[in-house]
Each structure stands twice: as C-alpha cells, then as structure tokens.
Amino acid sequence: MLELRFIRENIDLVREKTAHRGLATDKVDEFASVDAKRLELLQEVESLKNQRNKASKEIAQLKQGSDEEKKQADTLIPEMRKASERIKGLDKELGDIQERLQELVLSIPNICSDDVPKGTDDEDNVEFKTWGEKPTFSFTPKTHWEVGEDLDILDFERAAKLSGARFALLKGFASKLERVLTNFMLDLHTERHGYEEVLPPFLVNSASMTATGQLPKFADDLFAIKDWDLYLIPTAEVPVTNIFRDETLDEDQLPIKYTAYTPCFRSEAGSYGRDTKGLIRQHQFDKVELVKFTTPETSTQELEDLLADAEEVLQLLGLHYRVVTLCSGDLGFSSTKTYDIEVWLPGQETYREISSCSNFLDFQARRGGIRYRPNGQKKSKLVHTINGSGLAVGRTLLAVLENYQQEDGTVAIPEVLQPYFEKRF
RNA sequence: GGAGGAGUGGCCGAGUGGCUUAAGGCGGCGGUCUUGAAAACCGUUGAACGGAAGUUCCGUGGGUUCAAAUCCUACCUCCUCCGCCA
C-alpha cells in the first residue's frame, strides 16, 4: 500500500503509473474525493473530541468541589450528552469512509521503478542478461513429461484420480530428485549466501495475506480453508514476510535474510487451458524462497544480490538461462521492479520462468507495519522487503529432466548433486 | 472437544468509573564519581497520524456513561488440567 499523503500529493503520477500496468484507474479517481471527505470529517470530529476531553476534566473537578460547583457540573452534563451523540454519529460516518478509503488504497498498485520498461505483457519484457548456452543433443530431446512417463517417475493420470487436473505424482528418482534439489538449494543459500533457514506454517490468516498483497484483490487465486480464517500459502513469501508484521526492528539487525522451503498452493483461477501438459503449472508445487528485510538505502543493491544468489543455483546445476526485466504491464501488483529468471527447456524449445525476484520498497512493510528504528533516531521508519524464488523446485526438476536426458532415455545426475545421491545404507 | 485462568508500554508489573498526558521496577540513553570499568547516585526514556494545535492507542469488535484500562457483551490469543492424536 502506498502512503495516503503520497497518493494525495501525487495523484496524477499514481494514475499514470497504474495505467502503465494496464490497470483501471477509477479507484485512483475515487480516492481523491473520499480522501478529501475524510480529512474534512476528521477535523470536525477531532475538535469535538477535544472539547469533550476538556469538559470531562472540568466535570471531574467540579464534582469534587462545593455544592455550587456540583450544580455547575450538572448543567454541563446534558450539554456534553449532546456533544457525545454528535461525536458518535460522526465517528460512525468517519469509520465508513475510512473503510472505503482503505479498500481503495489496498487496490492501488505499487509505483513501478523508473528503470522498468513500459509495456503491456510478457512480450515486452526486456532481456537483462544470459548465462551459458543451449545444450546440443545427438538425438531429438523429449519433453519432461515424456521423459518422466517413459521412466515411470511422473504419473499424471493417477494424480488426477487422487486430486484432479494440475496435480502430479512423483515416484522414485523424480521424488528423490525433488528432495535433493530442495536440500541443495537450502544448503547453498544458508552456507554460502548467509541466509537463515526458516520453516513457516503453510496455512496463514487473512491479515498475513493482506500484508503481502494477495488479499483483498487476488482471493480467487488462493485456496481457502472452509469455515476457517485460513488460506493455503501461494508462496513462502507470505508467512516469511509476515514474521515481523507489526514489529519494530533495530537497524543493526538489518538486513535480515531468510530462506524457506515450502509447498505452494495456487488455484490460478484464470489459467485453465494454459500449460496443461507436464509440471509447469500445478496447483501444488515446491519452492525455496529468499526473503530480505533491508533499509531503504540498500534495497536496490540487495535485489541485485538476491538475483545473483538465485542465479547461482542454475549456474551450479549447469543449466542455461536468461534474466528478463519485467515490463510495467507484466509486473506484479506489489512490486516496483522484478527480474524473472527463465531456464532453457530443450524438450519444449523454450525459456520458462523459474524464479521471480522483486523489490517491493515499503509497499508490503506499510501494509504489514514492519518498521525499524534507524540508529540514534527516535522515529521509526518502514523497512524495505525483497523476495525471490531460489528456485521453484518443480520447475528445476523438469529443467534437469529435459537438459540432462540421455539418448537411452535415462537422466544423468548433475555433478553438484551427486553427493546427495550417495548410498547411506 | 471439555473445564478453569490470564491478556496493561522493549520486558516485569500496579491500577475496579473522573487531575491516568498509566504508579513502581528492569532494561536503554545521558551524567556524577573513577586512571578505566563495576557499584552507587542523579536525570531521562512508549507508539501511530498530523506542519502545528490536537486526536488515537491498556488483546479485538460492539455496548453502557457527560466520562471506560476500569462496568456489560461477543470474539481472538495464550497458559493449566482432561480427552484425542503424529
């Protein structure tokens, strides 16, 4: 969420930036009128409350004085009764307006960074860098679902029996590879990149979903638990960012760097018909997430560093990829700038997103009340939050299946993972 | 799921209707003393919004009252015990 005063004072900029994302600007327009009404009402009700507070003290004093003074209090009380009724009425009105204003503010997206290219969809994303090269094969490489089904390690039909479309059953080598990749990523980020590992709840309440921006606008993409104020997390970003919700940190603690493995659950309500084959778009998938809490001064650099941390996973696995800067129309609601890492999939002859790294500045921190106290200063400030996948495990698995497939139908094990496959018993 | 208890500032904790802009302590910060430190002593120290005046905040939401941390009510969370359970 943006600061009220910022929107008020930069209403044209907010409208323009919202339009760049391809979003409707009617909420921005409505903000202006509701906000003005709120300020007016606030002034009125606050001055009435001031009068009431003063009179209240006066009555307290008079009540303890002489009979004469007690009488004075008795004449004052009916007056205050009227004032109180008026306050109650205005407070109710103000409450309604504030609720509406809150809805509006929560539905206004973040301001995208100046270095984000303008555009309407993923066609307009700009290539930032590439690493490695497309592998060559002496045979025609299969897609990962062909590799998986031929080896009997991916079973989509039985998964459909268990749960429906967009679920997968991993068996044998695939299920172990999934687990090994998860461990490899966590080990890398904790031992080499200085992240602390956390394992959060996979169900969170609506307050947490609101702070990170999934609610109220994107409720349709979430799985909700019937009769509970609980949702299945769509990404570890939600529970991990919310760790410090409504808390004030010390500047010396920053930056705080967490990495977390969680399964992720997405209904992807609008996605039916897209990527129906294979592991690409599932209702449940594993992900290792990277989350940082930083000062405003360092967040720009910390995003670059986080991107490098995520990239290193692919580099060590020897998987060719490119990094694109998302254009304004493809940018997530809460993000000011996002890099997507796209891995090369030879079976499908295409690049597919495998990580998304974003800087939210103070947008999530303001929604969630995540603050820090700058050294030597009395006033607290909002932290900046950054996160990215490091990486999506299921997509890493399919990238390994497609890139490491052999002519005989088997799949080679990337060198860096081989220690994880040594026999233990 | 059942029974009981409890939620007050960074922490502990007093406060059962009106100078509570929340006592006291711990911790933090500054100082005196000291070669330096400790101890002792003195002072200072909640948060959000606002340019300011001011408003709001004692788990949360309603209610009673001229006035609520304090009374009523619903809910939430935590603790103890019982039940169930990996």
| pLDDT tens readout for residues A316-325 | 999 999 999 9
Strand B within 7 A of A229 CB: no
Judgement on whether residues A132 and A81 belong to the same structural domain of the protein: no
Residue A349 lies in a domain: yes
Q: How confident is the model at residue A190, as a pLDDT?
A: 97
Judgement on whether residues A8 and A143 belong to the same structural domain of the protein: no
> Which residue's C-alpha is at the least distance from the C1' of B46?
A378
Measured in angstroms, what separates residue A379's CA from nucleotide B42's C1'? 27
- How high is the mean pLDDT of chain A? 91
Judgement on whether residues A42 and A126 belong to the same structural domain of the protein: no
Strand B within 7 A of A46 CB: yes
Given A266, A352, A366, A371, the catalytic residue: A266
Q: Give the rounded distance of the alpha carbon of A413 from its chain centre.
A: 33
Measured in angstroms, what separates residue A242's CA from nucleotide B85's C1'? 29
Given A21, A166, A366, A395, the catalytic residue: A395
Residue A375 lies in a domain: yes
Using the structure block, give the residue that is written with the tokens 């907010």. Answer: A14
Final residue before a domain boundary, out of A59, A74, A106: A106
- What band does A270 get if pLDDT is binned at 50, 70 and 90? low
Given A335, A356, A358, A389, the catalytic residue: A356
Q: How confident is the model at residue A379, as a pLDDT?
A: 80
CB atoms < 10 A from the CB of A184, how many? 21
Stretch A244-273: mean pLDDT, rounded? 85
Final residue before a domain boundary, out of A77, A106, A135: A106
For residue A367, indicate whether it is catalytic.
Answer: no
Give yes or no for a contact between A120 and A329, defined as CB atoms under 8 angstroms apart: yes
Stretch A268-279: mean pLDDT, rounded? 75
Tens of pLDDT, residue by residue over A50-80, are 888 888 888 887 877 777 777 777 888 888 8
Q: Among A29-43, A215-229, A347-361, whose mean pLDDT is lowest? A: A215-229
Strand B within 7 A of A250 CB: no
Judgement on whether residues A221 and A78 belong to the same structural domain of the protein: no
Measured in angstroms, what separates residue A89's CA from nucleotide B72's C1'? 22
Q: Give the rounded distance of the alpha carbon of A250 from its chain centre.
A: 23
Judgement on whether residues A75 and A160 belong to the same structural domain of the protein: no
Quote the radius of gyration of chain A (alpha carbons, Å). Answer: 27
Tens of pLDDT, residue by residue over A319-345, are 999 999 999 999 999 999 999 999 999
With a cut of 90, say whether residue A226 has pLDDT above it.
no
Strand B within 7 A of A77 CB: yes
Nucleotide nearest to A4 (CA to C1'): B49
> What are the C-alpha distances in Å from A322 to residues A58, A129, A285, A372, A408?
72, 6, 22, 35, 29
With a cut of 90, say whether residue A374 has pLDDT above it.
no
- What band does A229 get if pLDDT is binned at 50, 70 and 90? confident
Give yes or no for a contact between A197 and A260, defined as CB atoms under 8 angstroms apart: yes
With a cut of 90, say whether residue A406 has pLDDT above it.
yes
Judgement on whether residues A284 and A224 belong to the same structural domain of the protein: yes
Judgement on whether residues A22 and A157 belong to the same structural domain of the protein: no
Given A103, A268, A353, A373, the catalytic residue: A353
Residue A62, both tokens: 């008079």
Separation CA A133–CA A344 (nearest Å):
9
Measured in angstroms, what separates residue A255's CA from nucleotide B46's C1'? 25
Final residue before a domain boundary, out of A43, A75, A106: A106
Judgement on whether residues A127 and A197 belong to the same structural domain of the protein: yes
Nucleotide nearest to A248 (CA to C1'): B10
Strand B within 7 A of A315 CB: no
Measured in angstroms, what separates residue A258's CA from nucleotide B79's C1'? 30
Residue A116 lies in a domain: no
For residue A5, indicate whether it is catalytic.
Answer: no
Q: How confident is the model at residue A369, as a pLDDT?
A: 86
Nucleotide nearest to A45 (CA to C1'): B55
Nucleotide nearest to A79 (CA to C1'): B66
Q: How confident is the model at residue A95, as a pLDDT?
A: 86
Strand B within 7 A of A61 CB: yes
Residue A400 lies in a domain: yes
For residue A356, indicate whether it is catalytic.
Answer: yes
CATH number of the domain encompassing residue A46: 1.10.287.40
Residue-range definition of the domain harbouring residue A320 = 122-421
For residue A197, indicate whether it is catalytic.
Answer: no
Q: How confident is the model at residue A402, as a pLDDT?
A: 96
Q: How confident is the model at residue A317, as a pLDDT?
A: 97
Tens of pLDDT, residue by residue over A381-394, are 899 999 999 999 99
Residue A75 lies in a domain: yes
Write the ipTM: 0.82
Q: How confident is the model at residue A271, as a pLDDT?
A: 66
Judgement on whether residues A126 and A183 belong to the same structural domain of the protein: yes
Q: How confident is the model at residue A272, as a pLDDT?
A: 66
Judgement on whether residues A416 and A292 belong to the same structural domain of the protein: yes
Measured in angstroms, what separates residue A247's CA from nucleotide B29's C1'? 21
The domain total for chain A is: 2
Residue A237 lies in a domain: yes
Residue A272, both tokens: 């039916």
With a cut of 80, say whether residue A377 has pLDDT above it.
no
Q: How confident is the model at residue A282, as a pLDDT?
A: 93
Collapsed DSSP state (helix, strand, coil) of residue A52: helix
Q: What percentage of chain A reaches a pLDDT higher than 70?
A: 99
Collapsed DSSP state (helix, strand, coil) of residue A253: helix
Which positions on strand B lie below 7 Å from a protein C-beta? 18-19, 47-51, 53-56, 62, 65-67
For residue A353, indicate whether it is catalytic.
Answer: yes
| Strand A370-373 relative to strand A247-250, pairing | parallel
Judgement on whether residues A81 and A127 belong to the same structural domain of the protein: no
With a cut of 70, say whether residue A269 has pLDDT above it.
no
Strand B within 7 A of A406 CB: no
